[in-house]
A and B are shown apart, each in its own frame.
Chain A
Amino acid sequence: MTQTLDIERELCGHAAVGEAAVTVDGDRVVAFVVPAGGGLSLRELRAELGTEPDEFVVLTALPLAEDGQPDWAELSRSRKDLTRRRMPYTAPRTDTERYLAALWEDLIGVEDIGADDDFFTLGGHSLLAVRIRMRLQRDHGVTVAPEALFENSVLSEQAAVVDRTREA
């Protein structure tokens, strides 16, 4: 219990975090975080924390119960919902897949992105796709058409598009 409170206190004091609530859900310590407004990289956040939770769930708002406390039942549902949308983990295999997985993790706010995960299912949207396109342009000099990202929303397919575009 003190562990969850410690993590919560540390998270709430972090500049990139707007709100946080930490609990033990099943046998995992889960931290629910709402970004402060700018970008939130879970990888960077982990590196800066004294005690890390087992799992992060990034939300746009913290659901509150009538007493003003976090609505734990609703939070648990959000976590289950996110878990349901994940594919069984397949580690990224190529450099492009690993690059994209790290990029998605930062942009979508979901950890351990696998080669079979789907951009839209995990909450990817237009502006995140724009960020992917801008980063690909900057880091790889590759200009990917938006419809190519729309049609190839699974990570491994998206990596293949990037590789093909680079070769073309």
Chain B
Amino acid sequence: MTRTLDDIDLTDRVLHSTEDLSEFWRDLRHTKPVHWHQPADGGTGFWVLTAYEHISAVYRDTKHFTSERGNVMDALRAGGDSAAKRMLSLTDGRRHTDVRSILMKTFSKRGVEQVGERIRGITRGLVEQALERGTCDFAMDVAAPIPLMAICDLLGVPEEDRWRIFDLTSSMVASETPEHTQKDAWRNKNEVLFYFANMAEGRRVEPRDDIVSLLTGAQISGSGLTEDEIIFNCYSLILGGGETTRMSIGGAVVALVQHPDQWRALKNGDVSVDSAVEEVLRWTTPSMHMARTAVADVEIGGSSIRAGDIVTLWNVSANRDEKAFELPDAFNLARSPNKHVTLGGGSHFCLGAHLARLEINSVLTSLRDLVSEIEPVGEPRRIYSNFLGGVCHVPVALR
């Protein structure tokens, strides 16, 4: 049965995991692409944008929209993000440009290539191990460690702390069970901030070749970043670097299993890995939505959005918009052009885009070179969240 506007609550974190909302999104795109949504909890309502055209325009419209109060639905509805103006993704204007250029040294195409060989080596090793064992949980055994190792290498998190950090970050904005309390999320977030606060203190005294030292040592027109900026940005990097790509890699394997023709196309070299990476990004869309706040009255698609309104941008819908993609519901690794909004757009375009592409590329390359067949041996399991979407368990047999 198609869900209608009246009986759906997009803030419900279980909904996105248990229901296929593609019909619902299609309906919205066609009937009310700019829709005012009043959630069941009676709290703050917000705009729901579902059309590709509108969403990509809002990403680029810094005149009418800001990220400085928060960029996800929950934080904005709670009155604003506590990291506002101190985390890069929640900073606009000059400060944003300055801090982003510091981090770009590490996250530019050339910057991430410094860890390229290591990531490709780790990936190859993990896929070989999975092949030897025969069956694996691809999400936990391959998809989780690759982005974790990569971002921890870059941040300078020592090997022995990495899986503890993973346990914490994987249950900050999402969880593996529907029963996940606000307290759990708060606790884990707090532990991660505490970890990086301590690490930053250490790096101030004894800098090393890593991002935490880069941030503690950085100068913008003569003064350093504030303590808050350093800690919140580390938090943002570990979450953005570790969690999203994990979803894309796990989701890639689910999609390849469900579309054997595409697996063969990849395997035979009929499609390039680069092109496949883009389709995996479009297909999996780990950041289901992003959000902005209007700073001035503006009209979109005939609806009047007022200054102060919360506007949510549903990437999951934009990436399946028939006006932007030919046969959007087909998983087509050769798709071209493929201008998905998985990595956002405008000035806040994903800082880790090159790293994410490198990681997904390394997985698809290893699968193509080392694996002849992928077979499901159980049902994939999805995480519970209203922001992050994807799979946390993918049992498969590799041959």
B226 beta carbon closer than 8 Å to chain A:
yes
Instruction: Tell whether, in the assembled complex, residue A146 and residue B226 are in contact, meaning their CB atoms are under 8 Å apart.
Output: no
Interface residues of A in 116-168 (CB under 8 A from B): 125-127, 129-131, 133-134, 145-147, 149-151
A142 to chain B, nearest CB (A): 14
Question: What are the residues of chain B within 8 A of A130 when measuring CB–CB?
Answer: 190, 193-194, 197, 231
Complex: how many Å from CA A145 to CA B83? 21
Instruction: Tell whether, in the assembled complex, residue B183 and residue A147 are in contact, meaning their CB atoms are under 8 Å apart.
Output: yes
Question: What are the residues of chain A within 8 A of B85 when measuring CB–CB?
Answer: 60
Instruction: Tell whether, in the assembled complex, residue A146 and residue B190 are in contact, meaning their CB atoms are under 8 Å apart.
Output: yes
A50 beta carbon closer than 8 Å to chain B:
no
Interface residues of B in 193-212 (CB under 8 A from A): 193-194, 197-198
Beyond A60-B85, A126-B82, is A134–B194 a contact (Cβ under 8 Å)? yes
Complex: how many Å from CA A127 to CA B85? 14
Contact check: which of B83, B187, B191 meets A127 at CB < 8 Å?
A: B83
B182 to chain A, nearest CB (A): 9
A37 beta carbon closer than 8 Å to chain B:
yes
B186 beta carbon closer than 8 Å to chain A:
yes
B257 beta carbon closer than 8 Å to chain A:
no
Beyond A134-B194, A134-B198, is A127–B228 a contact (Cβ under 8 Å)? yes
A136 to chain B, nearest CB (A): 11
In the complex formed, the residue of A with least CB distance to B182 is A150
Instruction: Tell whether, in the assembled complex, residue B183 and residue A150 are in contact, meaning their CB atoms are under 8 Å apart.
Output: yes
A68 beta carbon closer than 8 Å to chain B:
no
Instruction: Tell whether, in the assembled complex, residue B193 and residue A126 are in contact, meaning their CB atoms are under 8 Å apart.
Output: yes
Interface band, chain B? 10 to 19
Beyond A38-B226, A134-B197, A146-B194, is A127–B231 a contact (Cβ under 8 Å)? yes
Question: What are the residues of chain A within 8 A of B226 when measuring CB–CB?
Answer: 37-38
B5 beta carbon closer than 8 Å to chain A:
no
B376 to chain A, nearest CB (A): 38
Instruction: Tell whether, in the assembled complex, residue B194 and residue A150 are in contact, meaning their CB atoms are under 8 Å apart.
Output: no
B189 beta carbon closer than 8 Å to chain A:
yes
Question: What are the residues of chain A within 8 A of B187 when measuring CB–CB?
Answer: 145-147, 150
Question: What are the residues of chain A within 8 A of B198 when measuring CB–CB?
Answer: 134
B46 beta carbon closer than 8 Å to chain A:
no
Question: What are the residues of chain B within 8 A of A147 when measuring CB–CB?
Answer: 183, 186-187
B232 beta carbon closer than 8 Å to chain A:
yes
In the complex formed, the residue of B with least CB distance to A137 is B198
Question: What are the residues of chain A within 8 A of B227 when measuring CB–CB?
Answer: 38
Question: What are the residues of chain A within 8 A of B232 when measuring CB–CB?
Answer: 127
Contact check: which of A60, A126, A131, A133 meets B186 at CB < 8 Å?
A: A126
In the complex formed, the residue of A with least CB distance to B186 is A150
Interface residues of B in 209-233 (CB under 8 A from A): 226-228, 231-232
Complex: how many Å from CA A149 to CA B84? 22
Interface residues of B in 80-116 (CB under 8 A from A): 82-85
B354 to chain A, nearest CB (A): 29
Complex: how many Å from CA A151 to CA B182? 11
Complex: how many Å from CA A127 to CA B187? 11
Most chain A CB neighbours (cut-off 10 Å) among B84, B190, B191, B227: B190
Interface residues of B in 162-194 (CB under 8 A from A): 183, 186-187, 189-191, 193-194
Complex: how many Å from CA A129 to CA B197? 12
Give 18 pairs: A residue, B residue, CB < 8 Å, sorted on A: A38-B227, A60-B84, A126-B193, A127-B82, A127-B232, A130-B194, A130-B197, A130-B231, A131-B197, A145-B187, A146-B187, A146-B194, A147-B183, A147-B186, A149-B190, A150-B187, A150-B190, A151-B183
